[in-house]
Amino acid sequence: MPERLAEMLLDLWTPLIILWITLPPCIYMAPMNQSQVLMSGSPLELNSLGEEQRILNRSKRGWVWNQMFVLEEFSGPEPILVGRLHTDLDPGSKKIKYILSGDGAGTIFQINDVTGDIHAIKRLDREEKAEYTLTAQAVDWETSKPLEPPSEFIIKVQDINDNAPEFLNGPYHATVPEMSILGTSVTNVTATDADDPVYGNSAKLVYSILEGQPYFSIEPETAIIKTALPNMDREAKEEYLVVIQAKDMGGHSGGLSGTTTLTVTLTDVNDNPPKFAQSLYHFSVPEDVVLGTAIGRVKANDQDIGENAQSSYDIIDGDGTALFEITSDAQAQDGIIRLRKPLDFETKKSYTLKVEAANIHIDPRFSGRGPFKDTATVKIVVEDADEPPVFSSPTYLLEVHENAALNSVIGQVTARDPDITSSPIRFSIDRHTDLERQFNINADDGKITLATPLDRELSVWHNITIIATEIRNHSQISRVPVAIKVLDVNDNAPEFASEYEAFLCENGKPGQVIQTVSAMDKDDPKNGHYFLYSLLPEMVNNPNFTIKKNEDNSLSILAKHNGFNRQKQEVYLLPIIISDSGNPPLSSTSTLTIRVCGCSNDGVVQSCNVEAYVLPIGLSMGALIAILACIILLFVIVVLFVTLRRHKNEPLIIKDDEDVRENIIRYDDEGGGEEDTEAFDIATLQNPDGINGFLPHYRRGLLGGISQDAV
């Protein structure tokens, strides 16, 4: 307590001592002006007007007056004397009046107009305003005329230590990695002091730590905070509170101080390995579990956080490495064991795995501490489950000839119950896959038989599904696809690939190819089709045409001579026998129609009784028939109309004056018996107009049949 009282007395008397030292110069200071000099009692002189004038002599000065000082925050019962103005023109007879103007004149500063003493009538604050500019002037008391020009001077407010340091940006937060070495920089803080940094030590700050030792230290002048202990462990303590003090006056007694807080957080580094919560894990799983199902989870704890705690899991050993896998859950940071392949209780009832957890992000600074990994043992017990039947094959492929007999066995499927307590199996066909019921199956032994005839040319493949059901538990069923391929037999004869029609030019040359034809066969022999072509036995010596087999399995028809005449014969029919290479071979006869046409010199068909060449506009046969029918119908209508009009105008009874002889037809030719009757249309006798029409005359020999030249 005595020391604190001494500090308070020193703080009170220090400004007074400074004031006592600085006031005397201020009182006797005078502005540097030729008319403002000290009175020395020198004799007077007359001026040019004859007036009496005092001779003024300059006295040598040791200083020049231009500013005054006043302590801030000074208060007392009386106004504080700042300084005194005095002019050499003042003889002391009270004839001179002092006037003050400028900053704070009359409100803050007051002057005694007789003595020139300047007082501060208010308490001043340097931090609010550091200096004031004022103007002083001496005038005649009676006339108020200036005795000298006005003089400007400055009053400076002298600083005292009245402001404590402040941390404007506090409280502070900083981070530093755990396990840092001694002296690692954490952060720096800055305090400000409103006092004058130039005058004295009022703004000279010194920093210290009040709380936070022995973990941190601070540089007294720069306020840089560093670690004071090495290898601080975040897992032991993560956050520290540091109290920092800034004291002015260079840290000496009597100075003012301010404090702030700094929260230091240790950031994590990977300095801890993962550790399994237990060394042995037990899991059980049914044998019929779906692939990919999670069987269990293992977890390795890591005292680190964030990415430093991330671990990857692997199965490194055991008898179930092929059946199980482990994946890492990034969110939960544990390992998930999943099933990769099907389990079979009857084959193996338990498995043992060795799993490992290892840090993903390794800090090389701590790698020497040992491996950042850990291992654990996992035992998996397989539980028995009622499993569905198992077919001997995942799919079946059967073959049957298309001429197979009904109820013949096509093939067989087999299945078994994999459980220890095996159940008998019954087989059936899923009729949704055999809507026409072409196949049957024996429910006991799985033999598939043919129920309806097969035709490869209608369907080559038949895909059905066989169902196997446990007799003891009908809910346990399995399905298997069965593909049945129908094999070909030679049951179709070859024939022309299309409706061929050949055209022969009248001016064609001998040996000219009239048409090339090809054959097709609905059967599908293994080695492909090979056709044999021939003419009918009675047509082998055909005088008009011959055939030639081509390498591409086609046939060319050639003309034997030239000089065909369509007037003599328009159409030739050429029967061709086509045989396949089956066992036994099949054959059929197809007839090629050959039409004789008129052609140009370069062999282009110009006219023949065929729609494609008679009409160059390219009308089809159907269109031609329709047009022809319309023309005939129109013609019939016209004929009927004319006939009706004529019958309407003719009388029913022949008039007597008409010459009946005009209706008699004379025929003077020698009679020919029955030939005349067949060659003459009796209707002509009834219709005299028909004599102008064209009546074709056919001889009996032409009507008797087609001559050998027709082919």
Nearest residue to 230 (alpha-carbon basis) of 176, 180, 270, 175: 180
Average pLDDT over residues 634-647: 83
Tell whether pTM > 0.75. Answer: no
Contact of 110 with 84, CB cutoff 8 Å: no
Instruction: List beta partners, residue 504.
Output: 596
More confident residue, 586 or 274: 274
Confidence at residue 9, expressed as pLDDT on a 0 to 100 scale = 43
How much of the chain, in percent, has pLDDT values that exceed 90? 32
Confidence at residue 92, expressed as pLDDT on a 0 to 100 scale = 63
User: CA distances (Å), 305 to each of 302, 361, 370, in order?
Assistant: 7, 12, 19
**Cβ-proximal residues to 518 (8 Å cutoff; 6+ apart), any chain:** 496, 497, 552, 553, 554, 555
The structural domains of the chain, ordered by start, are 2-158 (2.60.40.60), 172-267 (2.60.40.60), 275-383 (2.60.40.60), 396-401+421-487 (2.60.40.60), 495-614 (2.60.40.60)
Structure tokens at 205: 């700050």
pLDDT at 662 over 80: no
Average pLDDT over residues 518-539: 80
Average pLDDT over residues 121-146: 83
Average pLDDT over residues 126-139: 84
CB atoms within 10 A of CB 669: 6
Q: How high is the mean pLDDT of the chain?
A: 78
Average pLDDT over residues 273-290: 93
Confidence at residue 375, expressed as pLDDT on a 0 to 100 scale = 94
Confidence at residue 686, expressed as pLDDT on a 0 to 100 scale = 42
pLDDT at 226 over 80: yes
- Decide: helix, strand or coil at residue 73: coil
Confidence at residue 682, expressed as pLDDT on a 0 to 100 scale = 43
Confidence at residue 47, expressed as pLDDT on a 0 to 100 scale = 32
Average pLDDT over residues 399-421: 90
More confident residue, 55 or 649: 649
Distance from C-alpha of 121 to C-alpha of 82, rounded to nearest angstrom: 10
Average pLDDT over residues 400-426: 90
pLDDT at 325 over 90: yes
Confidence at residue 600, expressed as pLDDT on a 0 to 100 scale = 81
Least confident of 176-180, 510-514, 533-537, 581-585: 581-585
Distance from C-alpha of 483 to C-alpha of 448, rounded to nearest angstrom: 12
Q: Burial level of 710, CB count in 10 A (0-12/13-18/19+)?
A: exposed
pLDDT at 631 over 70: yes
Confidence label for 659 from pLDDT (cuts 50, 70 and 90): very low
How much of the chain, in percent, has pLDDT values that exceed 70? 77
pLDDT at 23 over 80: no
pLDDT at 221 over 50: yes
What is the four-CA torsion angle of 164, 165, 170, 175, rounded to 10 degrees? Answer: -140
Confidence at residue 40, expressed as pLDDT on a 0 to 100 scale = 27
Q: Mean pLDDT highest for which of 93-107, 296-310, 679-693? A: 296-310
User: CA distances (Å), 160 to each of 72, 119, 476, in order?
Assistant: 7, 19, 101
pLDDT at 568 over 80: yes
Least confident of 257-271, 318-332, 373-387, 603-617: 603-617
pLDDT at 282 over 90: yes
Average pLDDT over residues 372-390: 91
What are the pLDDT digits (tens) for 607-629? 776 443 333 434 555 666 788 88
pLDDT at 559 over 80: yes
